[in-house]
Every structure is written in C-alpha cells, then in structure tokens.
Amino acid sequence: MSPSSQSRSSICVIGGAGYIGSVAVEALIAAGRRAVVYDNLSKGHRAAVPEEVPFIFGDHGDEALLKKNLEKYNCSAVMHFSASSLVGESMKNPLLYYENNVIKGLALLRASSAAGVRHFIFSSTAATYGEPVSIPIKEDDPAIPTNPYGNTKLAFERMLRDFGGMCGMRSVSLRYFNAAGATERYGEAHNPETHLIPLTLQVAAGRRSHITVFGNDYPTPDGSCIRDYIHVADLASAHIQALEYLENDGETSVFNLGNGKGFSVFEVIETARKVTGCDIPAEIAERRAGDPAILVASSERIKKVLGWQPQYPQLEDIIASAWRWHSAHPYGYMPERKLPEAARR
Ligand SMILES: NC(=O)c1ccc[n+]([C@@H]2O[C@H](COP(=O)([O-])OP(=O)(O)OC[C@H]3O[C@@H](n4cnc5c(N)ncnc54)[C@H](O)[C@@H]3O)[C@@H](O)[C@H]2O)c1
C-alpha cells in the first residue's frame, strides 16, 4: 500500500475501548495512523478512547452498522479485539462464547469483506493450545483447547483463514499469552478482574485482604504455576508491525506473542511486594481444574518474520507500570463518586 493511500485510510479497532485495544489505538495514533473505535461497551470504557478518535457504539454482530462505518471511515484494516474472554465463564456458559466469538464473528467477517477491508489482525490466545506438549510452545504444536473460550478463538482463527483465503483478505492471528502492565494513560480495568497482576495490586492498594495462590504442588521450582507475561505496549507494537507486514504483502500467518520468559505466581507476588513496598498476604488454595503447570511461548517466529522485539521484558518493569496506572486511577475509568460505598473503601 502506498504512503498516500495509507494516510487516507483508517484502521477500525473493534473492541478498542477495552484494555489491549485502547493501548493499540494509542500506538496507532503515535505511529501517525488514523483509527476508529467500534465497541459495544459491554466490558470497555468510553473514557479509554481518546477524544480525537471517532467512536462508534455498536455490536460486532451488527453487520449493517459495522459495514456502514467501515465504508464511512474508509477502513483498509480491522484489528479485532472484541470478544468474551473469561475461561471460567466460558465453562459455565459456553453458548455465550460461541455466540459472541463465533456466530457474531461471522457477521464481522462478512461486513469487513463487503466493505473492502483487505487486512485483518485478530487477538487470539494461548488458550488455543490447551495442555502443552512441550515448552516453550511453538505455533506448529498441537492446538487442542481445553475450554470453550479456547475452542471459540481457534474456530475464529480457522474461519478467518478460510474466509479470507476465499475473499482476498489477508490476516495475522496473534496468540497472546498473559497481557499485563499499562501505559501512562491506559491500563487494565476489567470487571470482574481475574488476572493475577491487577488482583495482586488490589491487595497492595488495600482493596482486597489477600491474593489466592491456586496450587503450590506443581512440578515447578517453587510449586506454583508459571506463566508468560507480556507488556501491553509490546502487544500493541506487534499489532503495528503486523499491520505493516500485511500492507507489504505479507501472507496470512499465526504468531505467538509472549515474553519468552516464564514467571511463577510466587515470583509475581514477590515482585509486586518489592515494587509497591506493601506486604501482600498470600493464601494457598486447591489447584484449579485445567490449569497447566507451565505456559510459556516461543516468540521466535514473530521476531524472525516481523522483526518484533519486546521492549519491556522484565517482570519488575511490567508490574511497576501497572502499579503507576492503578495508583493514578484507583477506580479504573470510573469516577469515584459513581462507585457504591463498599467499593470506595
Ligand atoms: N487480556 C489478556 O491477557 C488476553 C490474553 C489472550 C488473548 N486476549 C484477547 O485479547 C482481546 C482483548 O482482551 P482485553 O483484555 O483487552 O479484553 P477487554 O474485555 O478489556 O476488551 C474487549 C472489548 O471488546 C468489547 N466487546 C466485546 N464483545 C463485543 C461485541 N459483541 N461487539 C462490540 N464490542 C464488544 C468490550 O466492550 C471491550 O471493550 C480479547 O479478544 C481476548 O480474548 C486477551
């Protein structure tokens, strides 16, 4: 794509009011690109979208509304962050996940193709692999998800590849491991929060009494699970590079996106104690069903093909950025006065 046609077109960030999408929008603007955010605010926050970026309130399953806006803003590419993404909830309510991530995903793909979108970047997940056969996990390892969330993400990856191949829309599916950290303006404000780092920081901030460690008898050096944490700004930069790769005729691809280093639950808690200077009591509970001992990505393929490199690979830097954001935004994107009394304490 020529620089002049790039400057006229926009990138539609679907789910751009959410945690990772908001940081991707920030990165797009910093890269001199035009962005449009499309989000139904089921989980996201209007305040996480910069004033200067057009915002469309809509569901990604609303094919007509999405197509109309993709055309209106002359969108050459879609970044698709919008999904239902809680593993536990997907086990209790699998149909919700098939509905939002697959059925409505079909409408999103049809709207994108009908509006002439040529490049598509999809937020996939490590959950597509299920129980790993070896560590670090490589893209060609078996993908056998162990929960409906992973099944629906893998289903969308396959739909995207098959449908894109038919209609000439090339794509990159990025299989994120654990997104963490914050930029100065945008951070993690999920409700309910289920991720280890923000939960640990809520203990440091006095919003929770303790952090629960699910299992201390795994076959790992300290007995707790090991996960791969990647800074959200490093995720965002990978999106920009994936976009440029597709614009330069890169072929449809799947890339892992992780730090390449694993950190145990106890290491995360200890690092959070160091960063915050707070005690952070931890309590041990039973293992959770379906939690593999170790999940660490090989990100060699994305480094080789896109030239991507994480800028914030140190756990301490990742947690420190999250702590700065949470300290500056103790109520997330919500003004304090809107919270119930109990949540203000
Ligand atoms: N956070 C992680 O660690 C992680 C790890 C792996 C993969 N992912 C994937 O990355 C993506 C973004 O994750 P996140 O943590 O930023 O999630 P998030 O919940 O903060 O953001 C998702 C956004 O999508 C919107 N949305 C959901 N369904 C929609 C619909 N039908 N129509 C329009 N908007 C809709 C929500 O309102 C929200 O703003 C998700 O697809 C998730 O599966 C996240």
For the chain, domain boundaries: 3-177+229-257, 196-227+260-344
Question: pLDDT category, 1, cuts 50, 70, 90?
Answer: low
For 201: left if phi > 0, alpha if psi spans -120 to 50, otherwise beta; the answer is alpha
What average pLDDT score do residues 142-164 get? 97
Please say whether the beta carbons of 38 and 13 come within 8 A. Answer: yes
Rounded Cα gap, residues 200 and 273, in angstroms = 9
Check if 149 is active-site.
yes
Contact 145, 51 (CB under 8 A): no
The superfamily CATH assigns to domain 3-177+229-257 is: NAD(P)-binding Rossmann-like Domain (3.40.50.720)
CA 220 / ligand 1 centre spacing (Å): 30
Q: Which of 53-57, 67-71, 161-165, 258-262 has the lowest mean pLDDT?
A: 258-262
Query: Please, are residues 225 and 291 in contact by the beta-carbon 8 Å criterion?
Result: yes
**For residue 331, what pLDDT band results from cuts at 50, 70 and 90?**
confident
Distance between Cα 260 and ligand 1 center (Å) = 23
The least confident of 49-58, 84-93, 123-132, 332-341 is 332-341
Q: Are 122 and 157 in contact (CB under 8 A)?
A: yes
Q: 336 or 32: which carries more pLDDT confidence? A: 32
- Alpha-carbon gap, residue 159 to 164, rounded angstroms: 8
- pLDDT tens digits, 64-102: 999 999 999 999 999 999 999 999 999 999 999 999 999
SS3 track for the chain: CCHHHHHHCEEEEECCCCHHHHHHHHHHHHCCCEEEEEECCCCCCHHHCCCCCCEEECCCCCHHHHHHHHHHCCEEEEEECCCCCCHHHHHHCHHHHHHHHHHHHHHHHHHHHHCCCCEEEEEEEHHHCECCCCCCECCCCCCECCCHHHHHHHHHHHHHHHHHHHHCCEEEEEEECEEECCCCCCCCCCCCCCCHHHHHHHHHCCCCCCEEEECCCCCCCCCCCEECEEEHHHHHHHHHHHHHHHHCCCCCEEEEECCCCCEEHHHHHHHHHHHHCCCCCEEEECCCCCCCCEECECCHHHHHHHCCCCCCCCHHHHHHHHHHHHHHCCCCCCCHHHCCHHHHC
Q: What is the pLDDT of residues 268-316, one digit of tens each?
A: 999 999 999 999 999 999 999 888 999 999 999 999 999 999 999 999 9
- C-alpha 188/C-alpha 48 separation (Å) is 10
List the structure tokens of 297: 């990505």
- CA–CA distance, 85 with 12 (Å, rounded to integer): 20
pLDDT tens digits, one per residue of 175-226? 999 999 999 999 999 888 899 999 999 999 999 999 999 999 999 999 999 9
**CA–CA separation, 117 vs 77, rounded Å?**
5
Q: For residues 248 and 78, give the distance between their C-alpha atoms in angstroms, rounded to a whole number.
A: 16
Contact 39, 15 (CB under 8 A): yes
CATH superfamily for 196-227+260-344 is UDP-galactose 4-epimerase, domain 1 (3.90.25.10)
Ligand 1 atom with minimal separation from the 85 CA: 43
Residues with CB under 6 A from ligand 1: 15, 17-21, 39-44, 59-61, 81-83, 85, 100, 104, 123, 125, 176, 178-179, 190
Question: Over the stretch 94-109, which tens digit does the pLDDT of each residue have?
Answer: 999 999 999 999 999 9
pTM of the model: 0.95
Contact predicate 279/273, CB 8 Å: yes
Q: Which of 223, 204, 219, 257 is nearest to 24 (CA)?
A: 257
Mutate to test the pocket of ligand 1, among 85, 93, 147 (most ligand atoms within 8 A of CB): 85
The residue to mutate among 86, 87, 123, 333, having the most atoms of ligand 1 within 8 angstroms of its beta carbon, is 123
pLDDT band, residue 345 (cuts 50/70/90): very low
d(CA 194, CA 330): 17
